[in-house]
Amino acid sequence: MKKVCVMGLGYIGLPTASVLATNGFEVLGVDVDERVVNTVNSGHIHIEEPGLHTVVRAAIGSGNLRASLEPEPADIFFIAVPTPLTAEKRADMSCVVQATERIVPHLISGNLVILESTSPPGTCRDLLTPILERSGLKVGADVSLAHCPERVLPGKILHELIHNDRVVGGFDHASAQRAADIYASFIEGETLLTDVTTAEMVKVIENTFRDVNIALANETAVLCEDLGIDFGEVARLANRHPRVNLHAAGPGVGGHCISVDPWFLVERFPAKAELVHLARRRNDGMPAHVAARTLELLEGAEAPKVAVMGLAFKGNVDDMRESPSLRVIALLEAEGVTIAAHDPYVKHSPIELCGIEACFQDADCALLLTDHNDYKYLDPRQLAKLMR
């Protein structure tokens, strides 16, 4: 039985570790948070994801999965830690660096290291390789290195982890093939082999494509407001064209992928990634636009109150990372607006949550900022009766 060490037990690391464990690998999941380690070892989960609790419980029960604060020797090392942005919109690679440094003392010839964290193009060759070679081993000759970026959607992680095609980039062809063989043992999608830098660029451009499309939708929505027409109708009819696929507009772009990854290109190519930069500016500016429009509607209201529906960055998850909702709320509160917030998925929030009726009680305005399915079944006429 091959032993696997997964560095990071977050939204990607924990599902990956659990699926590996239920497919016959001996898995050690490593996290810097003792609460996370204890939670996983008890067979429970610290994140909301459909079906994950069942898989983790089965993996722990089988004895194939355990969690620890410290890495151990293994045959295969997965790195699945965050790559957030700094305040200056630059890639913060500190978690990747620290995770890589922590496995170096345990490396032996024949090991395979797989980076799953979405990273700026060039990370594996320019950043990870020198760190791994501190072990005295040569990447390629002694240790295999590959990049297989995660491509899953929160809320559908387990299904997509198994069924999606995976791009597997290797430091050399042998590294790519070794990593592809590991993935082929537990996924049903196709493994697509390439080099590490191409794999890094593929993931970044996947999310950049979506960000640019959303920016076009958001800009179109703003133009439609000025024209006094309905963006939803414009998008619906435009998308009847067989070669048009305009995305939905919204209060901005959140999450740890689409709102983050395009900045990797802007940082690396500041003079050339002009369209990417413009799209980021448009999407990052949408919370301010929503707040400004809301304040216009509240003009004249005494001690205005706004009901906010949804804090998560997308529907049917509890993930608030980079959520536009939080930015809209902060902007409104800065103008003296009282906020009553509701989210059926979020359990731990920096903003006090209330029930849906209390949220609407005596509110002057309601903002639907997250498309949770739960909200589709509410009767807006009944909720409106609670408002001023």
What is the pairing mode between strands 144-147 and 166-170?
antiparallel
d(CA 145, CA 178): 9
d(CA 249, CA 231): 8
d(CA 145, CA 124): 8
Q: What is the four-CA torsion angle of 330, 332, 335, 336, rounded to 10 degrees?
A: -90
If we measure between CA atoms, which residue out of 81, 65, 67 comes closest to residue 116? 81
Q: What is the CA radius of gyration of the chain?
A: 23
Determine the straight-line distance between the first and last CA of the chain, rounded to whole angstroms. 65
How far from 361 is each of 24, 191, 296, 299, 387, CA to CA, in Å? 53, 52, 21, 19, 5
d(CA 111, CA 213): 40
Q: What is the DSSP letter of 125?
A: I
How far from 30 is each of 6, 17, 79, CA to CA, in Å? 6, 10, 10
257 is catalytic: yes
305 is catalytic: no
Q: Element (H or E) spanning 102, and its range?
A: helix 94-103
Decide: 365 and 304 in contact? Cβ < 8 Å: yes
Residue 68 bridge partners (DSSP):
30
- Active-site residue (options: 5, 124, 257, 359): 257
Residue 183's Cα: distance from chain center in Å? 21
Please report where in the chains the tokens 């499309």 appear, as a residue. 213
- Active-site residue (options: 5, 148, 203, 359): 203
Decide: 333 and 352 in contact? Cβ < 8 Å: no
Query: Collapsing DSSP states into helix, strand and coil, what is residue 226?
Result: helix
> In this structure, what token pair is assigned to residue 193?
């082999």
Q: From the CB of residue 381, how many other CB atoms can be counted at a distance below 10 Å?
A: 7
d(CA 247, CA 178): 37
Q: What residues act catalytically?
A: 203, 257
